A and B are shown apart, each in its own frame.
Chain A
Amino acid sequence: MVSGLINANPVVYEKKERRQRPASIPDADEYSAEAIDQLEVFDHVRDIKDPEHPYSLEELKVISEDAIEVDDRRSYVSCFRVTFTPTVEHCSMATVIGLCLRVKLMRSLPSRYKVDIRVAPGTHATEAAVNKQLNDKERIAAALENPNLVDMVDECLAPSYA
């Protein structure tokens, strides 16, 4: 484990104003006909804490509402593509951030929603390798059986459940 932080001086941005939402049911209704939109997905992930700094992914501009795309062309399966931007090009935390995004959305969205997670093109040295890992369900499942990794993820996810 490196003693120094990957990015000791991150740029912190202002948080976007929050839209008021009606009180929602704790467990997303599997049969709900109401489509989930980009903002709702963004609301699930904006407050995830960066693994290294006491700031949210939104504050560090790692994730933004525009970086979430919905693809509802097919009636029977809905897809989201979430693009995140690591703060530095060689960020070894990229896979952890990606994993946090995946876990949060897995726990928050009905299982019929398919989620693709990728780093913003051109923002990471091993972009293809990171993307491939984050979208391999077997690798993800195995990673989530690693207690140390799960603890790290849960710590980052804690502020996002409010």
Chain B
Amino acid sequence: MDFDDEGSNFELKEIQTLSGHTDRVWSLAWNPATGTDDAQPVIASCSGDKTVRIWERSALTRSWDCKAVLEETHTRTVRSCTWSPSGKLLATASFDATTAIWENVGGDFQCVSTLEGHENEVKSVSWNASESLLATCSRDKTVWIWEVMPGNEFECASVLQGHTQDVKMIKWHPTMDILFSCSYDNTIKVWAEDDTGDWHCIQTIGESSNGHSSTVWAISFNAGGDKMVTCSDDLTLKVWEADIEGMRSGNNQVLWKHLSTLSGYHDRTIFSVHWSREGIIASGAADDAIRFFVESKDSVVLNSLILNFSLLMDWKTTAVVIPVAMILFLYCIFIV
């Protein structure tokens, strides 16, 4: 995709507002097995109303409908949800200290497993690329790694300690079994397994390594897996890179290095960031703005396409389908 350096011909157009949740919507996840010629796109959303909703776009009307409400399982806020790479399972992380695993059984979502162990709120859950491992993190400062066994059984493989405060998010590397965590303690930690099967923290990215100076809220990798972007309460986004070939050859000493810091684009906490397959970085912050960044050809400094939203809606009960707008957003490049 070619982007104009000015970036002024972009437009983000709202397609639809999905109503249904009765409390704040914390997170969304696209089902990776959908959005193709055979399968209409599906999104899972989770909320402070303790439920998860599954939305699907109708092939006929092209409008989004709520297909299922996953309720009566979590007893507190559902903080995040994520589909397994095959799209067959959905993991939901809750403030009730559990992680639930759901399976779509003939259109009906059933909770097939409940992972217990964390001492308090679970914040995030992530599947590795081969779907053999699941990771969860919590305010209890730990990261748990679970092995996915046959018959929807999950066994705790390791409890990773090291963070000194709440772990806000964990994310597996897109291609390798290397785990990344970011925390209220302002650091990012990288975890890998050694030859004896023990998991260790192989790198801690703190302020001294050009890291963040406040809570790190999210991590996202580029398609190639050689770069990652993080966002923080320190009002910056930071881009990191690593020697991917070195990592692939099993070298656990490969370190992630700071590549770029994007500051001055948001003036309140940046809560989420995502690096799309097309190479666009999207950030969402408490200043009610969503920004898109692309890497300019001449330098490593990324340009920002500014899209500010004046939120007249009550964000507690609606979930604007921003990612779908990205698809529409792409069409707009040609039309506008």
Question: Which A residues contact B (CB, under 8 angstroms)?
Answer: 30-31, 74-77, 79, 111-112, 114, 132, 135-139, 141-142, 145
B227 within 8 A of A: no
How many inter-chain residue pairs (CB < 8 Å) link A and B? 53
B166 within 8 A of A: yes
Which residues of chain B are within 8 angstroms of A136 by Cβ–Cβ distance? 184, 215, 233
Contact across chains for B168 and A30 when beta carbons are under 8 A apart: no
Known contacts: A74-B287, A77-B287, A145-B77. The answer to whether A138 contacts B316 by CB under 8 A is no
Minimal beta-carbon separation of B165 from chain A (angstroms): 9
| B215 CB contact (under 8 Å) in A30, A114, A132 | A132
Q: A138-B168, A141-B95 are in contact. List 9 more A-B contacts (CB 8 A).
A: A30-B312, A74-B267, A75-B310, A114-B268, A139-B166, A141-B24, A142-B77, A142-B95, A145-B95
Which residues of chain B are within 8 angstroms of A141 by Cβ–Cβ distance? 24, 48, 77, 95
Within 8 A of A (CB), among B217-266: 233
Which residues of chain A are within 8 angstroms of B121 by Cβ–Cβ distance? 142
A31 CA to B312 CA, complexed, in Å: 7
A139 CA to B121 CA, complexed, in Å: 10
Known contacts: A76-B308, A138-B123, A142-B77. The answer to whether A114 contacts B48 by CB under 8 A is no
Known contacts: A141-B48, A142-B121. The answer to whether A76 contacts B77 by CB under 8 A is no
Q: Is the interface of A mostly helix, strand, loop or mixed?
A: loop
Contact across chains for A114 and B286 when beta carbons are under 8 A apart: yes
Interface size of B as a range: 20 to 34
Closest Cβ neighbor of A75 among chain B residues: B310
B311 within 8 A of A: yes
Minimal beta-carbon separation of B235 from chain A (angstroms): 13
B200 within 8 A of A: no
A76 CA to B268 CA, complexed, in Å: 13
B76 within 8 A of A: yes
Q: Which 9 A-B pairs have the closest CB atoms?
A: A76-B310, A142-B121, A77-B288, A145-B76, A142-B95, A77-B287, A76-B308, A145-B95, A76-B288
Minimal beta-carbon separation of A136 from chain B (angstroms): 7
Which residues of chain A are within 8 angstroms of B308 by Cβ–Cβ distance? 76
Contact across chains for B287 and A111 when beta carbons are under 8 A apart: no
B315 within 8 A of A: yes
Minimal beta-carbon separation of A64 from chain B (angstroms): 25
| B314 CB contact (under 8 Å) in A75, A111, A137 | A111
B163 within 8 A of A: no
Select the residue from A75, A112, A137, A142 with max chain B CB neighbours within 10 A.
Answer: A142
Which residues of chain A are within 8 angstroms of B79 by Cβ–Cβ distance? 138
Closest Cβ neighbor of B316 among chain A residues: A111
Which residues of chain B are within 8 angstroms of A114 by Cβ–Cβ distance? 268, 286-287
Which residues of chain B are within 8 angstroms of A137 by Cβ–Cβ distance? 269, 286
Contact mask for chain B residues 275-314; partner A; CB cutoff 8 A; 1 contact, 0 none: 0000000000011100000000000000000001111101
Within 8 A of A (CB), among B45-81: 48, 76-77, 79
- Interface pairs (24), CB distance under 8 Å: A30-B312, A31-B312, A74-B287, A75-B310, A76-B288, A76-B311, A77-B268, A77-B287, A79-B268, A111-B315, A112-B288, A132-B184, A132-B214, A135-B233, A136-B215, A136-B233, A138-B79, A138-B123, A138-B166, A139-B139, A139-B166, A141-B24, A141-B77, A145-B76
Which residues of chain B are within 8 angstroms of A111 by Cβ–Cβ distance? 311, 314-316
Which residues of chain B are within 8 angstroms of A76 by Cβ–Cβ distance? 288, 308-311
Contact across chains for A30 and B314 when beta carbons are under 8 A apart: yes
Minimal beta-carbon separation of B212 from chain A (angstroms): 13
Which residues of chain A are within 8 angstroms of B288 by Cβ–Cβ distance? 76-77, 112
A74 CA to B184 CA, complexed, in Å: 28
Minimal beta-carbon separation of B186 from chain A (angstroms): 10
Minimal beta-carbon separation of B208 from chain A (angstroms): 18
A74 CA to B288 CA, complexed, in Å: 11
Contact mask for chain B residues 99-120; partner A; CB cutoff 8 A; 1 contact, 0 none: 0000000000000000000001
